[in-house]
Amino acid sequence: MIGLLSIAIFLPAVLAAPTYLLGRKNAKVAKILGLGTTAIVFVISIMILVVFQYGQAGFQLSESIPWAGSFGLNYKVGIDGISLPLLMIATFLSLLSAAGSWDQITFRHAEYYALFLIFETGIIGVFTSLNLILFYLFWEIVLIPMFFFIGIWGGPRRRYASLKFLIFTYSGSAVMLFGFLALYAWTGTSAYPGGPSFDYDVLAARIPNLALPLQLVVAITTFVGFAVKLPIFPLHTWLPDAHVEAPAPVSVLLAGLLLKMGGYGLIRYNLLLFPKAVNVLWPYFTTIGLITMIYGASVALVAKDIKRMIALTSVNHMGYVLLGAFTATVAGVSGAVFQMFSHGLAVGMLFLMSGYIHDHTGTRNIDELKGLRGKMPQTVTLLFLASMAAMAVPGFANFISEYLVIQGALSVSYLFAIAIVAPALTVGYFLWMLRRVAMTPGVGPKNELRLHSILILVAFLVPLLIFGVYPPPILGSVITPTVEKWIGTIVALGAR
Amino acid sequence: MALLSLTPFLSLAVFGLLATPAGFLRFRNSKLGLAPFVSILGLAVAMVSTVWLGFTSSSPVSFGGLQIDSFTLFFSGVLLIVAMFVAVASLQYMRDDPNKGPFFGLLLLSTLGMIVLAASMDLILLYVGWELMSIPTYALTAFRKNDPNSNEAAMKFFVLSALSSALIVYAISLVFGITGSTGLTAIASALSTAGPDVRPFGVLAIVLFIVGFGVKMAVVPFHMWIPDAFEGAPVTIGAFLAAGAKMAAFAAAFRVFIVGILPFNVDFYSTFAIVAVVTMTMGNVAALMQKSFTRLLAYSSIAQAGYVLMALATPFTTTNVPLGLAGGLFHVLNYAILKTAAFVAAAAIATKLSVRDLDSLNGLSRRMPQTSLSIAVIFLGLAGVPPLNGFFSKVMLFTGAIYSPYSWGGYLALAALINSGFSMSYYGWVIKRMYFDEPSDQSRIPEPRIYMAVLWAATILIFAIGLYPDPWIRLVLSAAAALH
């Protein structure tokens, strides 16, 4: 029986072929099919929202179909309170990014939209799959379109950036795959009845019996794979290059969704599957998160290119996810999930805006953008709002998520008070950027964005403000019940 | 009725012998002559009968040393796919060559040798198959007899290959001396009770087998001939050597080591593990430095041989399931398809662009879009990106290594996975050249239809196996079980 989730996953990939074949002759057809498909998938995700049972903790809308049963593989998907927010931003950001591509992608439309739809299949699959190999499959499907996006449609250094991105993330995934395969082999011995399996639920039941050294090996190797994507401090160097060189709508996907794959993997696989290993590793992981937060913010402070600055905010903000997740507290993990949701929207808006600004002014250099207020007054207003979201000003969803992460961290150890340096630095570099770009006297003739572009940008703000003012629909009834259940389970199994 | 099981062998022998004289006959206006069609018909008959036997025969059938079981049929299928792709691509590649008869005849006879190799349960028969496979390939490598590169390649190939044959004969004679038999089952039972006095000779025989097979499998340090031979030989013969001869050597090694030598209780596993890691690392690192497309393919094929070798290092899991072995067989299938297709793509480029260096690939996606797309798919498959076929065989191999009873299994798998990640740097680099770099010449190049047919068939297979691997996994599991 094919359910809503499978339709959401495979519809884009299926429609990628007609998009390419029909769009080759006529770019408009490719644009309409690409944007139309993402819109349909968004509608399907709204339907998922409607049928989702709120306040429940287990996996819902599950589907399980035999796939390669002779090797312990089944096609199994399902969502819970951790994956639902990510599924929603996946479909929402894909829609907005496809809409943003309408103006900002100017050549080879058929290939672009076909790859775009394959990317969407991959990203939805990552957030919904409940089988390790299936997860890995979708994880890699995301990689290939991104490689081509950066390499074909990217900026001047696109060749270098695309290859660096591919090699970094593919090597990271190879190490992660080792963890998955080891898990299959080590929980497939005769001590575990039922034979080896890649199934998430089966593994979740078996891993508590796995010896601690083996748990540590798997937890560390999978951590490497997720950490490259997140990214964490020493493994982040692909990110500024990839984000800066990618075309703006693709940067939206990169920062808004691709990084969330790392965060989601850390929570879903690393934190929830290895309670004993988490008990050993959490001080290291949270420290890395802390360093990443502060490092990202410090480097963003000196960035000259506005897009590079936005890229480095991602490093800064994804550090919160790592910190929050490995506090293994309800507040911290809920905050981490919520942070992925709100950061995806805020950074997506900033990236798309940087693309529009570049198209209209011909530059992304912060110093050269002085006086932008005169040219693009409405855009500057939106830039203010997006920066406020990224700075985690109360009233935006980012405030609640960052607050929860720091609350969770402080409840574990007062040493984490140092984390407060990161938001301070974030406010610092955003205000400094705004002072240079927006607070200077306006110059030049007016060259404002067109209405539809403004509307796309405003669409990012709507959920940020709604959930910033009134978070319970997402936090209390979706994220927290699931997190509470899982944290209860893993704490009982020895995670701190 | 049991004679029907020999149909693949008989078909290849009969049509192979017919192909050479058929080369003298030709239709009135056709340049191609009759030989290619005779040989493709022979391959088709062999292929159909292999598939039919695979579905109908349940128990192994023996004719003396020749055993037709699911392992034999599996390898026949793989090798016939390779031979079929090579023969069809050669229709185009050899179009202007006057000696099509011998070319296609030798191709079929060599394929026959490979299948005999996979089927042999007797060391003498194995050696006959080995030579029947090798001798035609020397001639095929040197087929462009006015081309000094082709001659040099054939000479290097011949000398090393003859050496490997000699070593294998020596190993066979040692084994016969110890056990008094050349049949693999008799050898197995004799070796399981062998006393300590014959152990040194047994170990020597194992070493000689490893070296002898190793030359054909092109594992480090016996890989030197591969890049030169692949570059000098006609490109379609490069495919035949890389995917056919190499995999047939693996078939022989599987037979000898798993059926014959396994009960001897000698730790050849760790030797294979070390050779595997060195081979894949060396192949991947060297591939990164190549400037010619065929040499890059040669080194990537060395790296891939390292992965298959893991099957001999870690054939069984702790629960005695032949997972690593099955993964190795699966990788043989996937590698054969991928590598043959890669060489056919190289042939398509070589016939249209006179230069073979990697710079000629710059911006190829604008000039030869279909070829570029299939090279991209093939290379991602070789790198092991899901949902392409190379992924699942690698997953099975690496899982088999971790799951094996040896303490070093996990390190072997980790080394292989890091290699697999690293290999993306040159596969991705070629894709980058084709899609992201600017061509020096923008003109569109016509893409020969025959090559495209082969490439599309391969691309469809690559996706089909990758998206629905279940029947193939069951096939390789049963083939692996037939050995055990």
A180-236 pLDDT per residue, tens: 999 999 998 888 888 888 999 999 999 888 899 999 999 999 999 999 998 998 889
Q: Among B418, B436, B477, whose Cβ lies nearest the Cβ of A70?
A: B477
Q: Among A144, A152, A189, whose Cβ lies nearest the Cβ of B318?
A: A189
- Measured between CA atoms, how close is B290 to chain A, in angstroms? 18
What is the rounded average pLDDT for all residues in chain B? 91
A78-133 pLDDT per residue, tens: 999 999 999 999 999 999 999 999 989 998 999 999 999 999 999 999 999 999 99
What value does the mean pLDDT take over residues A312-324? 93
Residue B2 has pLDDT above 80, yes or no: no
Which residues does chain B have within 8 Å of residue A147's beta carbon, measured at their own beta carbons? Answer: 428, 431
Residue A1 has pLDDT above 70, yes or no: no
Cα(A185)–Cα(A195) distance, integer angstroms: 10
Residue B29 has pLDDT above 70, yes or no: no
Note whether B425 contacts A: Cβ–Cβ < 8 A. Answer: yes
User: Taking CB atoms and an 8 Å cut-off, how many pairs form between chains A and B?
Assistant: 109
A384-408 pLDDT per residue, tens: 999 999 999 999 999 999 999 999 9
pLDDT at B27: 67
Q: Is A239 helix (H, G, I), strand (E, B) or coil?
A: helix
Q: What percentage of chain B carries pLDDT values higher than 90?
A: 67
Which residues does chain B have within 8 Å of residue A71's beta carbon, measured at their own beta carbons? Answer: 392, 395-396, 469-470, 473
pLDDT at B57: 75
Nearest CA in chain A to B327: A71
> Is the full-model pTM beyond 0.90?
yes
Q: Among A69, A171, A185, whose Cβ lies nearest the Cβ of B403?
A: A185
pLDDT at B1: 57
What value does the mean pLDDT take over residues B196-206? 90
Nearest CA in chain B to A149: B436
A424-452 pLDDT per residue, tens: 999 999 999 999 888 888 777 888 888 99
Q: What percentage of chain A carries pLDDT values higher than 90?
A: 72
pLDDT at A381: 92
Q: Among B410, B424, B477, whose Cβ lies nearest the Cβ of A166?
A: B424
Q: Is A30 helix (H, G, I), strand (E, B) or coil?
A: helix
Note whether B421 contacts A: Cβ–Cβ < 8 A. Answer: yes
The 8-class DSSP code of residue A449 comes to P
B92-120 pLDDT per residue, tens: 888 888 888 899 999 999 999 999 999 99
Nearest CA in chain A to B411: A178
pLDDT at A229: 92
A360-373 pLDDT per residue, tens: 888 889 988 888 88
Q: Among A166, A175, A178, whose Cβ lies nearest the Cβ of B428?
A: A166
What value does the mean pLDDT take over residues B411-436? 93
pLDDT at A113: 95
Q: How far does CA A116 lie from the centroid of its chain?
A: 16
Q: Do A188 and B474 touch (CB under 8 A)?
A: no
Q: Do A158 and B436 touch (CB under 8 A)?
A: yes
Note whether B439 contacts A: Cβ–Cβ < 8 A. Answer: no
Q: Among B392, B420, B435, whose Cβ lies nearest the Cβ of A151?
A: B435
Q: Among B387, B413, B428, whose Cβ lies nearest the Cβ of A181?
A: B413
Sign of CA dihedral A102, A105, A108, A111: negative
A contact set with B (CB within 8 A): 66-71, 133, 136-137, 140-141, 143-144, 147-148, 151-152, 158-159, 162-163, 166-167, 170-175, 177-178, 181-182, 184-186, 188-190, 196, 217
Give chain B as a 3 state SS string.
CHHHHHHHHHHHHHHHHHHHHHCCCCCCCCCCCCHHHHHHHHHHHHHHHHHHHHHHCCCCEEECCEEECHHHHHHHHHHHHHHHHHHHHHHHHCCCCCCHHHHHHHHHHHHHHHHHHHHECEHHHHHHHHHHHHHHHHHHHCCCCCCHHHHHHHHHHHHHHHHHHHHHHHHHHHHHHHHCCCEHHHHHHHHHCCCHHHHHHHHHHHHHHHHHHHHHHCCCCCCCHHHHHHHHCCHHHHHHHHHHHHHHHHHHHHHHHHHHHHHHCCCHHHHHHHHHHHHHHHHHHHHHCCCEHHHHHHHHHHHHHHHHHHHHHCCCCCCCCCHHHHHHHHHHHHHHHHHHHHHHHHHHHHHHCCCCEHHHHCCHHHHCHHHHHHHHHHHHHHHCCCCCHHHHHHHHHHHHHHCCCCCCHHHHHHHHHHHHHHHHHHHHHHHHHHHCCCCCCCCCCCCCHHHHHHHHHHHHHHHHHHHCCHHHHHHHHHHHHHHC
pLDDT at A169: 92
Q: Do B410 and A140 touch (CB under 8 A)?
A: no
What value does the mean pLDDT take over residues A459-486? 92
pLDDT at B28: 63
How far, CA to CA in Å, does A445 sit from each of A100, A104, A113, A351?
A: 24, 22, 34, 24
Q: Which of B321, B417, B419, B460 to mutate to test the interface with A (most CBs of A within 10 A)?
A: B417
Q: What Rg value do the Cα atoms of chain B yield, rounded?
A: 21
Which residues does chain B have within 8 Å of residue A175's beta carbon, measured at their own beta carbons? Answer: 414, 417-418, 421
Reported ipTM exceeds the 0.90 cut: yes
Note whether B463 contacts A: Cβ–Cβ < 8 A. Answer: no
Residue A353 tokens read as 């805006």
pLDDT band for B64, please (50, 70, 90 cuts): confident
Sequence-separated (6 or more) residues with CB below 8 Å from residue A317: A293, A296, A339, A343, A347, A390, A426
- Measured between CA atoms, how close is A235 to chain B, in angstroms? 15
What is the rounded average pLDDT for all residues in chain A? 91
Cα(B266)–Cα(B260) distance, integer angstroms: 12
Decide if B388 contacts B377 (C-beta within 8 A). Answer: yes
Q: Do B413 and A182 touch (CB under 8 A)?
A: yes
